[in-house]
Amino acid sequence: MIGRRSATRLGTGRNRGIWPVLALILAAVLVPTACVLWFMNAAMQNERLAVRQRLTDIYRRELLSAQKKLDDHWAAKMRLLQGANALPAAEAFHKLVTERSFDSIVVYDADGNLAYPLVAAPRPETAPAGNADLVAAWEDARAMERAGDPNAAEAFAKLARAEKQTDLKAQALQAQARCLMRRGMGVSPMSATGVTPVADGRSPKQHGRDGRATHGQDARATAIAILAGELSKDEYRAARDGLGRLVAPDALLAALRVTSPDDANSRKAIAQDLLARVNSYAGPAMPSSQRVFLMTELQNDIRVYWPTLEAEQLAAAYADDQRTVPAESGLARAVVRGLWALCPPDGGVVGLVTDHEVAAAVDSLGPDAQALAGARSIVHYGPDSGIAREPFLDVPASQYMPAWRLSLYLEAPDPFAAAAEQRNALYLWTGILGIAFIAIMATVMATYLGRQMRLTRLKNDLIATVSHELKTPLASMRVLVDTLREGRCTDEKQASEYFDLIAKENERLSRLIDNFLTFSRMERNKRAFDFAEVDVGDVLRAAADATGERFASPQSRLSVEVQPGLPLIRADRDAIETVILNLLDNAWKYSGDDKSVTLRALSAGGAVLIEVADNGVGLSRRAQRRIFDKFYQVDRTLARKAGGCGLGLAIVKFILDAHGGSISVRSQPGKGSTFTVRLPCATSKGRLNAEIAEESKEETKEAFEGDYMD
């Protein structure tokens, strides 16, 4: 009754105790895991935000750096323009264009009016009205020229001598040469400069055939002398015709055209003089239209490259629409297609750059594509970048480029996620490792706690077993002794039975105490073995005798079989007897009413085998594996009834380990069990084994303590 109650109590206690522990372990795993997961999630989100912020900063820095580079670029150009302000307009043009600082230049004066390209201003083509004689002489000469009068040349020569004004003097000489040409060649060389062809419409050949060739040649030579000699003198350098053009370069071109190809030296000299004048931007300013005309004409006549021709043409095209300085400073689109004008804040010299130049500057100075991983930047004019989406970042391209924007677009909707991925993977792995660590720690903790609980249970079991097992025989002895002492038992036979019962209980008590003491000694390692050569047969017989009355009844049979000539073993005799007694005790306890136990000793393979076979309840496979554990009992109720405390086989194993021996069991439930003890013989090898056993005792003891004493 008491045993059952205590077993129930223990069981309930065990269940009650395990749930808080399990809940604690679960909490110890779940709470930190949840924290780690929450932390990971927060860290990953933060990382994404941080990456976004970091990349945005990088993008912005790159845009601002590009903006600064563009600022610097245009500021340097502005400085060039402002530096050229001090020069005369034509020289400023020439300097900046030949330095290749700009594709072209347009210059405005202090009032904001066009100063370069120079527009030709018409000049008087006749003497002032006050000088009536001269005015009339001009009219006459012109009329003669129109009429094709051969004396027209002479009339103009007279005028040239009479005129005081350089412009009119030069115009008269020019007209004289023109008339001489007409006389000599039939075609005026001045037609190249816009003067009408000969009036009679005949070719020079036809004139030659008229027999006036010689006279014509003289006239031509005189004309050349005037054009390339007289008119190229310094005094006529600034002389202009009625349209405001410089007379000398036009005269040189005419001379070049009429000079015979055979006269290479003259042609060369004329051409060099002309080239120098067309290329010169210093001195009297040549109207741009005249310079462009001369350049293109000469390009056809003699192969020559003009470094400023294109710039002149661009400037002329720009100036056509922009007669006054642009109202806005900075880089602005010109009316001329593909042209941009860079205007300094104070006007003056305006630089012209082509689309191509602007694109090259934007390309080379715009943001570095490599620094903008995951994004694309566009420097564009006006609000429209050509991309439908809103830009991620957008700044003015440069303070010198009004209406230009520097916009940045993300390539993927969320490039930050990809950039944060690497870090997030790190967080993820850290989290996984953290959770794995928690799980491992929890497992270790659970194992440790389980072990502690098992130990506590074992200790509780021990206390329960000890108190119960000691109390039961003591109680029955007390009842029997009280009955005998109070004289309530008069029958001698019954009294003798009572004495027998007392002796039995006493014996059981002694055996229990012996086991507890052995166990306790083992626990504290106080069990010292006294090794000697032992005859196993003797020990077997002594043990069989020690079982006393147990096997005396007709239903209990114990047969002892000792193989003759058994070798001696080296062992502690008492310890081996304890082993056999414990096995016999179990065989008796766990067999039914009809008990048949065989105790056998035989030698096999250098060892002595001791077998204890019974026809008892037998053991399942699982029970066979665990019966050598301390306090393990297959059927607790049966074991208690039989007076066991779950220590017998543990003691047996401990002793055999200490002797270098072993124990095994063969059993089937309901069909009995056979326990086989194997002990090494006391040969030299046996002795050696015993010594090894002595050492292994220490190890076994440690294992034993490790298991149960923590």
| Closer to ligand ADP by Cβ: residue 422 or 620 | 620
Closest to ligand ADP by CB, 348 or 616:
616
Tokens of 175: 């007209």
Write down the least CB distance from residue 645 to ligand ADP, Å: 5
Q: Which of 510, 465, 459, 461 is nearest to 644 (CA)?
A: 465
Q: What is the DSSP letter of 117?
A: S
Q: Which is nearer to ligand ADP, 336 or 613 (CB)?
A: 613
Are the C-beta atoms of 388 and 425 separated by less than 8 Å? no
Q: Is the Cβ of residue 578 or residue 582 nearer to ligand ADP in the bound state?
A: 582
Q: Which residues contact residue 179 at a Cβ distance below 8 angstroms, ignoring those fewer than 6 apart?
A: 145, 152, 153, 156
Q: Which amino acid is at 251?
A: A
Determine the Cα–Cα distance for residues 334 and 327; give it in Å rounded to an integer.
12
Q: How big is the CA angle at 260 (ends 256 and 264), to the nearest 5 degrees?
A: 80
Element (H, E) at 674: strand 673-680
Burial of residue 87, with CB atoms counted within 10 A of its CB: 0-12 exposed, 13-18 middle, 19 or more buried: middle
Query: Left if phi > 0, otherwise alpha if psi is -120 to 50, otherwise beta: which for 189?
Result: alpha
CB 624, min distance to ligand ADP, A: 9
Provide the minimum distance between the beta carbon of 549 and ligand ADP in the complex, in angstroms, as a whole number.
19
Q: Where are the beta strands (DSSP E) in 10-168?
A: 104-108, 114-116
CB of 7 vs ligand ADP, minimal distance in Å: 13
Write out the residues near ligand ADP by the rule CB under 6 A: 582, 586-587, 589-590, 614, 616-617, 619, 627, 632-635, 639, 644-650, 673
CB of 662 to ligand ADP, least distance (A): 16
CA 146 to CA 179: how far, in whole Å?
A: 10
Q: Which of residues 354 and 633 has its CB atom nearest to ligand ADP in the complex?
A: 633
Q: Which is nearer to ligand ADP, 511 or 678 (CB)?
A: 511
Query: How far are the Cα atoms of 160, 475, 516 from residue 470, in angstroms, in the given order?
Result: 163, 9, 11
Nearer to ligand ADP, 312 or 614 (CB): 614
**In the sheet that 404-410 helps form, which strands lie side by side, from edge to edge?**
375-381, 404-410, 393-396
Residue 107 vs 649, nearer CB to ligand ADP: 649
> Minimum distance between the CB of residue 482 and ligand ADP, rounded to whole angstroms?
29
Q: How far apart are CA 512 and CA 520, in angstroms?
A: 12
Alpha helices, DSSP H only, in 562-647?
A: 573-589, 621-626, 636-641
The Cα–Cα gap between 220 and 177 comes to 8
Q: How far is the CB of 592 from ligand ADP (least distance, A)?
A: 11
Give least dist CB 602 to ligand ADP, A: 19
Q: For residues 671 and 685, which CB has a smaller minimum distance to ligand ADP in the complex?
A: 671
For the bound state, the minimum distance from the C-beta of residue 703 to ligand ADP, rounded and expressed in Å, comes to: 17
The C-alpha atoms of residue 177 and residue 73 are separated, in whole angstroms, by 53
Closer residue to ligand ADP, CB minimum distance, 536 or 645:
645
Query: Cβ 634 to ligand ADP, closest distance in Å?
Result: 3
